[in-house]
Amino acid sequence: MTGGDDTDDAAPTASTPVERAHAALASLRVEGDSSASTADAPASTAPAVAVAPGRVNLVGGHTDYNDGLCLPMAVDRHVAVAARPRSDDRLRVRAADFDETAELAPDDDPDGWAAYVAAVARVLREDDPIGGADLAIASDVPTGAGLSSSAALELSVGRALLAVAGRDRPAADLALACWRAEREGVGVECGILDQFSAALCEADSALFLDCRSRETESVPLGDGVGVLVIDTGVSHELTESGYNDRVRECEAALDRLRERADRDLDSLRDVDRALLDAHADALDPVHYRRVRHVVTENERVRRARDALVAGDLDRVGDAMLAAHDSLRDDYEVSCPELDAAVELAAETPGVYGARMTGGGFGGSAVALVDGDALDQAARAIRAAAPERVGPDADVFACRPSAGVRLVGER
Ligand code: GLA
């Protein structure tokens, strides 16, 4: 990775991620052309620009790597990637928000944000002739906030690299490639939730996602519903957290249940309450609680999906609150700041329910709110958050947004 010494200082200031990615790419000089930026480059090198959203997960925490069910929603915050082809096989990547530039040969294995870019390119190159590219990245998805900024980065980079190479892939295939990139390239043993959310969510809808069959169903959220994110300001870092420990605990519990059950268990998805209770004595008490969370969380996702279809937002909210209790007590992935955020939201007029979202150990809570009460609820939570949640807490409303896409013309 190199410093930011190959950019023009005169890049215009711009505000949206797309504008900033455009500006950052324009400021990244075309090599061998000391006179000009891409603004003067031939039309054939006009940039491809892809955007991919962050997400909140309304219900269905830590079910994805157990082949379970989730109900996420993409938010209207995005990573934008502007890209143009190069004549060699290198990636030169400008991270506008960090003021950093990375130069990557195909076999490089960098750290930090560049690891995601390198990993996506490596996985895509297995099936598509992805050449070199100049990329510029800008984002308004907060990092470390549990809003899946890394999947948004992976999907937007993937879509942009494919576009530059003149290739295409169905969104679900791209999501799977990016999921492999995160697991193999970055070392988080995550499930498919984040990449599928960033790829397949639709505007104004939540996404009912079956992580076993990988089938999805868009469930409209309805006009009268608002969504608030309460970012605790406590940064979570999945690779350094107990996330992979939870994956191990689920595997160990599954192995033990397999020894006892009289039917095949492919994953914890195949475990129901009756089976769990019948073999509770065989499980270490901690493992018992981990499995109980997964089993009851899958039930809650079904309940929340049905309630959303029926327009019964109180029941969706109840499922969210119960999900938070379970994540806190049985799965033990919450933290005091997240608990405080959920409590604060739950006692605020107009809020149907709230829960931690993402991997946990910090990050954000999500609240489902009566649309008419949204502004007032946001103001009340924002006012109380510094004292109740933490000095760096941030509260913002978001709209259900669409998954990864190319913007503008090439
Ligand atoms: C992180 C992971 C996801 C999922 C959630 C918890 O966001 O990347 O795969 O496991 O945590 O639901």
* CA 124 – ligand 1 centroid, Å: 22
Report residue 242's pLDDT band, with 50, 70 and 90 as the boundaries. Answer: confident
Task: Please say if the pLDDT value at position 219 is more than 60.
Answer: yes
Q: In this predicted model, what pLDDT tens digit does every residue of 330-368 receive, in sequence order?
A: 999 999 999 999 999 999 999 999 999 999 999 999 999
Structure-block tokens of residue 138: 């800008």
Question: Does residue 127 belong to any structural domain of this protein?
Answer: yes
Question: Does residue 140 belong to any structural domain of this protein?
Answer: yes
Q: In this predicted model, what pLDDT tens digit does every residue of 71-80 receive, in sequence order?
A: 999 999 999 9
194 is catalytic: yes
Report residue 232's pLDDT band, with 50, 70 and 90 as the boundaries. Answer: very high
Task: Please say if the pLDDT value at position 234 is more than 50.
Answer: yes
Confidence at residue 342, expressed as pLDDT on a 0 to 100 scale: 98
Confidence at residue 41, expressed as pLDDT on a 0 to 100 scale: 44
From 95, 88, 131, 138, select the one nearest 113 (Cα to Cα): 95
- Name the CA dihedral angle for 110, 111, 117, 120, rounded to a multiple of 10 degrees: 80
Question: Does residue 132 belong to any structural domain of this protein?
Answer: yes
Question: Does residue 104 belong to any structural domain of this protein?
Answer: yes
Question: Does residue 379 belong to any structural domain of this protein?
Answer: no
Question: Does residue 302 belong to any structural domain of this protein?
Answer: no
* CA 130 – ligand 1 centroid, Å: 28
Confidence at residue 188, expressed as pLDDT on a 0 to 100 scale: 82
Task: Please say if the pLDDT value at position 43 is more than 80.
Answer: no
Report residue 408's pLDDT band, with 50, 70 and 90 as the boundaries. Answer: confident
Report residue 29's pLDDT band, with 50, 70 and 90 as the boundaries. Answer: confident
* CA 10 – ligand 1 centroid, Å: 40
Task: Please say if the pLDDT value at position 320 is more than 50.
Answer: yes
Report residue 15's pLDDT band, with 50, 70 and 90 as the boundaries. Answer: confident
Confidence at residue 233, expressed as pLDDT on a 0 to 100 scale: 94
What domain range is 192 assigned to?
17-25+46-220
65 lines ligand 1 (CB under 6 A): yes
**CATH code of 178's domain:** 3.30.230.10
64 lines ligand 1 (CB under 6 A): yes
55, 75 Cβ separation under 8 angstroms: yes
Report residue 30's pLDDT band, with 50, 70 and 90 as the boundaries. Answer: confident
**Ligand 1 pocket check: which of 57, 58, 194 to mutate, most ligand atoms within 8 Å of Cβ?**
194
Percent above pLDDT 90 for the chain = 86
Structure-block tokens of residue 341: 């955020």
Q: In this predicted model, what pLDDT tens digit does every residue of 270-298 receive, in sequence order?
A: 999 999 999 999 999 999 999 999 999 99
The DSSP annotation for 152-206 comes to: HHHHHHHHHHHHHTT----HHHHHHHHHHIIIIII-----SHHHHHHHH--TTEE
Confidence at residue 37, expressed as pLDDT on a 0 to 100 scale: 43
Domain total in the chain: 1
Q: Out of 194, 231, 330, 339, which one is annotated catalytic?
A: 194
From 181, 111, 113, 193, select the one nearest 147 (Cα to Cα): 193
* CA 230 – ligand 1 centroid, Å: 18
Question: Does residue 205 belong to any structural domain of this protein?
Answer: yes
Question: Does residue 152 belong to any structural domain of this protein?
Answer: yes
Name the β-bridge partners of 217: 208
Task: Please say if the pLDDT value at position 190 is more than 80.
Answer: yes
194 lines ligand 1 (CB under 6 A): yes
The ligand 1 atom nearest the CA atom of 333: 6
193 lines ligand 1 (CB under 6 A): yes
- Region 34-59 average pLDDT: 72
From 102, 347, 390, 400, select the one nearest 230 (Cα to Cα): 390
